[in-house]
Chain A
């Protein structure tokens, strides 16, 4: 066994992929620890799927190295990598029953029949589908097919599990259920997992760390809550949840935006001049008009069950505010209000013009 510390279980080192003049992936470097759940998050065309394909062995990198357990993967075909894959379309074999689908990988490994049956049963048990072993995929719901795909990928005891937009074909409620289940199964099996998704909520709910990608590069890699709280740039701030932009002029320990003067956190006190600041909707508070703060007018309010999403027009631009649903609706549309926030909620957006 080649030596590789547990924190270097999977290493992508300067990986790039170009199709002719098109750079799909550029200089992607990331270290994944054993048992970690890493998310590759980004809009379509950001290179996340191409990165996954290169790890799986369906595409060859044009530059850089991929090492799994310290061993370089280049030249090893997909069928010899022992990497489990779950596809967006599930890709279950339509002509095989659930049990046959799950057994396929074991058959390829020439696992003897009695052991094969026992392992298939165990894998189906893991995803609570043992009672549907003799069904065909077409006779099952999307969520069930998804679980079969997961069992099929896990039964081969893969070194690495790759999930390619696994939940995007499910409806919202089922997706949330499957997120919980997926996370549980991954923790129980302990397999190192990479999830590709464009859904920031999914990435944040499932992953230990997320790598936010844009234009073929990783722009930030961090724990979800940290990336959310301290986005590296405006793209990440906007992509991970909602964010408000506040253009302010800083002089000394206070800043001024559209005539409103407010204190700055210590971390930003050294800045001078025009600076783009960011603040999350849940960090803004709506106060009655006339109180100290940024004055504005409610433009619209949308009820979302657990909370309200309120858009407030201010001289510094439109601001989104989330208000916890406590039983009383927030200020009505057209009402004059004041926006207020704590200084430590302000973040600086890099590279903002």
Chain B
């Protein structure tokens, strides 16, 4: 092999690597460095190098609360998305080709709408004078109107709405690789439709389910716009807390420290997930 062809792959991928390096790595390193510096309300950023920001966060109950809320919401959203998305993908998969295309379009619909527009839509629906409460009042439901805006319920609802398509698409890809005769084989052996799905289809689309779950979890944990708009000022998640530190308090180093902690937490979850859960599922299928 000639020298030029040996270096060709590196040369060809150089532009992408360069762009990624400049656009991602440099800011990331900048944020990491920033998180070690100090801050004073009068003097701004103080050039010093210590772990004071991290120490203060470790003792900050507001931050701990936001961190717990962030992961609680992400976990609940992931579970709900799986419960909705996996059967949804299976049902659409079994539809006739004509309906299948249409239904897939409906499924990815939420992804085609801007996050701000979508979230405002939920605000219109969920407000105390919103459509849902008006409907409940008109029906004479006791206890109405309910407070739905600025609750974790609202955040979860808004996130599930946009995350379900990700699960459907990830599972869809797995279903496409599945031999359609498998479910029929299980049925011919005496399994009902539900049993056939649970015992035969489900284990074989696990890679798609796990990938979808991880995507949903990471995106929910780092989501900013939806929790900020539907959760309001008081119900903070880690990403909206970072935003407040950077743009309201102007304490950039503290905001940077929060961002770094969120990144580490998500990375840790991802690594543990793929190390222990995903790899085991894949090994069973002989893929890993």
Contacts and interface: CB of A to CB of B under 8 A. Distances in A.
Contacts of B179: 89, 91
A79 interface: yes
B200 interface: yes
A94 B178 CA distance: 10
Given A108-B195, A138-B286, A91 B189 contact: no
Interface string B190-224: 11110110011001100000000000000000000
B104 interface: no
Given A89-B179, A89-B181, A108 B203 contact: no
Interface centre among A56, A88, A104, A138 (most CB of B within 10 A): A104
A105 B200 contact: no
Interface residues of B, number: 22
Interface string B163-203: 00000000000000001011011111111110110011001
A307 interface: no
Given A87-B181, A91-B181, A104 B186 contact: yes
Contacts, number: 70
Contacts of A138: 286
B285 A94 contact: yes
A152 B200 CA distance: 15
Contacts of B190: 79-80, 82, 105, 108-109, 156
Nearest to A108: B190
Given A79-B189, A80-B190, A139-B286, 7 more contacts: A79-B196, A87-B181, A94-B286, A95-B284, A104-B199, A108-B189, A152-B189
**Which 8 pairs show the lowest CB-CB distances between chains A and B?**
A108-B190, A105-B189, A91-B181, A91-B185, A85-B188, A87-B181, A95-B203, A78-B187
Interface of A: 56-58, 77-85, 87-89, 91-95, 104-105, 108-109, 136, 138-139, 152-153, 156
14 contacts: A56-B184, A58-B184, A58-B187, A77-B187, A79-B187, A79-B190, A79-B191, A79-B196, A84-B188, A93-B185, A108-B190, A109-B190, A139-B286, A156-B190
